[in-house]
Structure 1
Amino acid sequence: MRAWANELGFSQIGVAGVDLASAEAGLQAWLDNGFHGQMDYMAAHGLKRARPAELVPGTVSVITARMDYLPRNTPENWQEIEWARQSRPAEGVISVYARGRDYHKVLRSRLQKLQERIAEAIGPFGHRVFTDSAPVLEAELASRSGQGWRGKHTLILSREAGSMFFLGEIYVDLALAPTEPVTSHCGSCQACMDVCPTQAIVGPKRLDARRCISYLTIEHPGSIDEELRPLIGNRIYGCDDCQSICPWNKFAGRSELPDFDARDGLTGAGLVQLFAWSEAEFLRRTEGGPIRRIGHVRWLRNVAVAMGNALSQLSPSDPLRDQLRSALSARATHPEPLVREHVEWALGR
């Protein structure tokens, strides 16, 4: 099974049992604290996330899979390169994972192919494939199956691969022997907690999504809290700070697949250029990618915030200031109130 998984682009697979009762208290406390923000689907499914056999009756084991996503041509000093982007306030920064094809599509199809290979060998069996697409406690299953340990930023960390990878699962009605979990190797390091611009990591392994830049720029549907807007900087879709700072990510693996190579226009592009995208161009450029899911209005909201932050950072004599102001003014009467609000705020910066 490992050989088949490797052929399909997965870096590691494991097996977890379905008794996740010990994780229920932590999940419930996270929900009770409101840390899920407006991700209502998290509360709607409640503890079903920790009960695989309730989600898919008959499930006895869970096959977990890891797929590295750094682009094939990623240089060794990629962390240094990513940090440097934040020193260029007029450049829009998109999270590394979102610069290529939508990982949901890639992993789901390849997990299905893995299932088919298993079925060819042993015969038909009950199964269901997941990739961040249902009430699944992915990180818990991954840590229990030896994919890595839960880092203080809540992501799974591997000594061999850092945290720059996607997770997927196959729920099966087969009694498979679980793979052994690994011990934590974070030690006293809390670089991820210290570097978070909005201090969203409120404690080791405790994330308040309401303050997380990834949540604010992707999941959050409405107005971004004015207190948090300046802290977003030039990040327009997601945030990698807690991963870019992590020492273990010097071991992050490169994907063998072209799917995760960065698309033209999504790396190093100026905010003025990105803000000028019409809805048609936005849809064309993001087709088949994860960014499309937020829609053009949220895209403009995010870029407007970054443009406002750029205006507050650039030198008064910098010619980019006039370009930013002109581009923002052109959207000042946008038909969507959400866009107008954030443009007005940006111009006020």
Structure 2
Amino acid sequence: MDQHKSLESRIKQKAAELGFVACGFARADAAPRTAARLREWLDDGRHGTMIWMEERAHHRGSPAGLWPEVRSVIALGMSYAPAADPLALAEVGDRGRISVYAQGADYHDVVKKALKALGRWLAQEAGCDLKVFVDTAPVMEKPLSEAAGLGWQGKHTNLVSRAHGSWLFLGAIYTTLELAPDGGPTGGCGSCDACQQACPTDAFPAPYQLDARRCVSYLTIEHAGPIPAALREGIGNRIYGCDDCLAVCPWNKFAASAAANKAFVPRAELAAPRLAELIALDDPSFRQVFAGSPIKRIGRDRMVRNALIAAGNSGDAALAVPVARLLDDPAPAVRGAAAWALGRLDRERFAQERDARLAAECDADVRAEWEVA
């Protein structure tokens, strides 16, 4: 590598060699409004049951809040731009829709491996201290990436890049180095509100604001209990995450799938899974199907719950039989989703099952499931 180049140029070159398509630098204090915006979001309760957001808000608010010695942030993006239309399965009732980012290898593993390699190289080159982060740490990657010039936070609150659209996994390196900062964001959303209009559950109370409690990604991934009945129809056949607000963004016409890391190429069994097969999963088969996938962290019960909601929305009466098998599942959220789905698919059988259960001795939770359904 050319030692006559600036350290910043050499970092960007090395980042590209490791699979990052975007790299920029920001001062550690370059996003001063982050803490106040986070506090307002938390105070409004829009984080739902994501208690960890509240518990480590003091670390999230600024890089120095997590590591006082940090002087610069290296913001990095790895592309997962899809080759196929993320909305193609919207009307295919017997299939589940998995968010593009989760159809291939676990991005936590792929991005962190590259971050660690870049960090080792940088420590050797510059003799600095540093820390690497991807997603699971209390780091606000999106405002930091905006400050480093990777893009801007769009009206859907996700980062939008001129070159890569909405399809970037973000990582960050905090370092004691004083790196020359890149410029701030270039571009913007203008009058476009495509993402706002596309949201199936009205999760955006206003542009640039997200209420996670109504977001399909939150409901299908982070939320452990029964999904609120009023939001179930809006989930459609989405069983893990949602791409709608990203997929409709006009900036994605510039995002080339050729730039995507090959680790994120969809696995065949995750590109268009059959709902009947997902409903039938027990814990061992769930672990087998989703080994090496970020989906594995939600567990069997949450996945089957999601698949049952999708089955109830499918209009496919053939799914009533596998749905009914789960009416006595050990997991309350699964039982409740099965009762709701059966009521949508086979009203006569649902009435029979409900009357038999309510007439028998049953606890309040079981009674509530059938009364809601």
Shift of 1:268: 1.7
How big is the shift at 1:157? 0.6
2:15 is the alignment partner of 1:5: yes
Equivalent residue for 1:235, pick from 234, 238, 241: 238
Residues 28 and 47 in structure 1, CA contact (< 8 A), matched pair in contact too: no
Residue in structure 1 matched with residue 156 of structure 2 by the alignment: 153
Residue identity opposite 2:255 in structure 1: A
Contact kept, 8 Å, 1:18 with 1:51, in 2: the verdict is yes
How many equivalent pairs are there?
332
Pairing 1:41–2:41 present = no
Per-residue CA deviation, residues 293-349 of structure 1 (Å, 9 max, x unaligned), is: 1000001100000000113xxxxxxxx422x00110121211111111110011011
Q: Give the secondary-structure state (helix, strand or coil) at the position aligned to 1:16.
A: strand
Counting only pairs closer than 5 Å after superposition, residues 99-110 of structure 1 correspond to structure 2 as 99-110=103-114
Matching residue within 181, 187, 192 for 1:189: 192
CA distance in 2, matches of 1:29, 1:278: 41
Q: CA RMSD in A?
A: 1.3
1:220 aligned residue: 223
Matched residue SS, 2:88: helix
Following superposition, the deviation at residue 253 of structure 1 comes to 3.4
CA offsets 1:149-184 (integer angstroms, 9 cap, x no match) = 110000111111101110000111111111111233
Q: Is 1:135 matched up with 2:138?
A: yes
Pair 1:285-2:289 in alignment? yes
Q: Which has the higher contact order (CA 8 A, sep 6+)?
A: 1
Structure 1 distance, partners of 2:95, 2:55, is: 38
Map 1:31-180; keep pairs closer than 5 Å.
31-70=42-81, 74=83, 78=84, 81-123=85-127, 125-180=128-183
Q: How does 1:249-260 map to 2 (within 5 A)?
A: 249-254=252-257, 255-260=259-264
Which one of 200, 211, 215 corresponds to residue 214 of structure 2? Answer: 211
Please tell me the residue identity of whatever aligns with 1:321.
Answer: A
Distance between the aligned counterparts of 1:140 and 1:82, measured in 2? 26
Question: Residue 327 of structure 2 is aligned with which of 318, 324, 332?
Answer: 332
Shift of 1:53: 1.5
Could you tell me which runs of 5 or more consecutive residues in structure 1 were left unpaired when the two chains were aligned.
312-319
C-alpha displacement at 1:281, in angstroms?
1.5
The answer (yes or no) to whether the contact 1:201–1:208 under 8 Å persists in 2 is: yes
TM-superposed CA distance for 1:28, in Å, is: 1.1
Q: Which one-letter code corresponds to 2:63 in the other structure?
A: P
Identity %: 45
Aligned residue identity for 2:19:
G
- Counterpart of 1:297, as a letter, is D
Query: Displacement of 1:119 after TM fit?
Result: 2.1
Letter of the 1:266 partner, please give it: L
Tell me the alpha carbon deviations over residues 5-27 of structure 1, each in whole angstroms, 9 at most, x when there is no partner: 11110001111111133222211
- Letter aligned with residue 211 of structure 1: R
CA distance in 1, matches of 2:326, 2:268: 24
Cα drift, residue 269 of structure 1: 2.1
Secondary structure of 2:87 counterpart: helix
Gaps of 5+ in 2: 1-10, 345-373
Q: Look up the SS of the partner of 1:327 in the other structure.
A: helix
Q: Which amino acid aligns with 2:327?
A: A
Structure with larger Rg: 2
1:159–1:256: structure 2 CA closer, same or farther, 3 Å change rule?
A: closer
What secondary structure sits across from 1:85 in the alignment? coil
Measure how far apart 1:256 and its partner are.
Answer: 4.7
Deviations 1:116-168 (A, max 9, x none): 11222223x21111001111111110000000011000011111110111000
CA distance in 2, matches of 1:257, 1:185: 26
Maintained 8 Å contact 1:331/1:343: yes
Paired with 1:189 and 1:5, the residues of 2 have a C-alpha distance of 32
TM-superposed CA distance for 1:193, in Å, is 0.4
Deviation at 1:29, TM superposition (A): 0.9
Q: Report the TM-score, using the length of structure 2 for normalisation.
A: 0.86
